């Protein structure tokens, strides 16, 4: 378990480790055989000081529940961990929402316009909206799109193509040493 200060991130991480314990402390190899993510992504989710993406957490919870020697309620663990994850992600990136009141439409809380829309519909979102929803930078969302880590969000094909093009340009410049 990483050394985290008191707060929402520590509570989230502790709950994730408690679920791991309840599942019989399966190895990273065992988890990766059941989970769609590799050992490194699972290790990072369990031990990093950075909050993992929800898609990784969701897959990890599903794998741990499946590997548990006793019956565990997946929906209950998903609900509990999602609440803790939201609190941790909001706390870690809360300063982004306080900087500009004009960005209130990007707030993904249940009372915000975006939060209500996402709760009742499956809208096409911009990369910026997905970044705000997940509490990460837009560059991270572009990488997540390329690695297909965003199954819960529909992003228009045009936006995805722009993201792929930007990443291709970056990789080309990096490889050329520019």
pLDDT tens for 64-95 read: 999 988 888 888 888 888 988 888 887 765 54
Q: pLDDT tens for residues 10-62?
A: 888 888 889 999 999 999 999 989 888 888 888 888 887 788 888 889 999 99
CA dihedral 16, 42, 135, 112 (to 10 degrees): -50
Statement: residue 105 has pLDDT above 80: no
Residue 120 pLDDT class (50, 70, 90 cuts): very low
- 19-28, 87-96, 128-137, 138-147: which is most confident: 19-28
Q: What is the pLDDT of residue 138?
A: 76
Q: pLDDT tens for residues 10-24?
A: 888 888 889 999 999
Please give the Cα distance from 56 to 34 (Å, whole number).
Answer: 13
Statement: residue 104 has pLDDT above 90: no
* Contact present, 112 and 120 (Cβ < 8 Å): no
Q: What is the 3-state secondary structure (H, E, C) of the chain?
A: CCCCCCCHHHHHHHHHHHHHHHCCCCCHHHHHHHCCCCHHHHHHHHHCCCCCCHHHHHHHHHHHHHHCCCCCCHHHHHHHHHHHHHHHHHHHCHHHHHHCHHHHHHCCCCCCHHHHHHHHCCCEECHHHHHHHHCCCHHHHHHHHHCCCCCCCEECHHHHHHHHHHHHHHHHHHHHCC
Q: Which residues contact 150 (CB under 8 A, 6 or more apart)?
A: 55, 130, 141, 144
Statement: residue 110 has pLDDT above 50: no
Q: How many other C-beta atoms are found inside a 10 Å radius of the C-beta of residue 40? A: 10
140 alpha-carbon distance from chain centroid:
11
């Amino acid at each position: 378990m990483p050394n985290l200060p008191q707060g929402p991130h520590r509570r989230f991480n502790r709950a994730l480790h408690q679920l791991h314990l309840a599942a019989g402390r399966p190895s990273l190899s065992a988890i990766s055989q059941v989970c769609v993510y590799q050992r490194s992504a699972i290790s990072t989710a369990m031990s990093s000081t950075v909050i993992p993406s929800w898609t990784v957490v969701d897959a990890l919870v599903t794998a741990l529940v499946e590997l548990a020697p006793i019956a565990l309620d997946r929906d209950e663990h998903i609900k509990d961990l999602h609440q803790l994850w939201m609190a941790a992600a909001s706390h870690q990136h809360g300063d982004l929402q306080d900087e500009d009141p004009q960005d209130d439409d990007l707030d993904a809380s249940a009372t915000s316009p975006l939060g209500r829309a996402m709760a009742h519909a499956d809208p096409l979102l911009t990369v910026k909206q997905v970044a705000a929803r997940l509490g990460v930078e837009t560059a991270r969302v572009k990488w997540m799109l390329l690695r297909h880590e965003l199954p819960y969000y529909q992003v228009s094909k045009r936006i995805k193509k722009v993201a792929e093009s930007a990443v291709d340009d970056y990789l080309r410049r990096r490889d050329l040493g520019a």
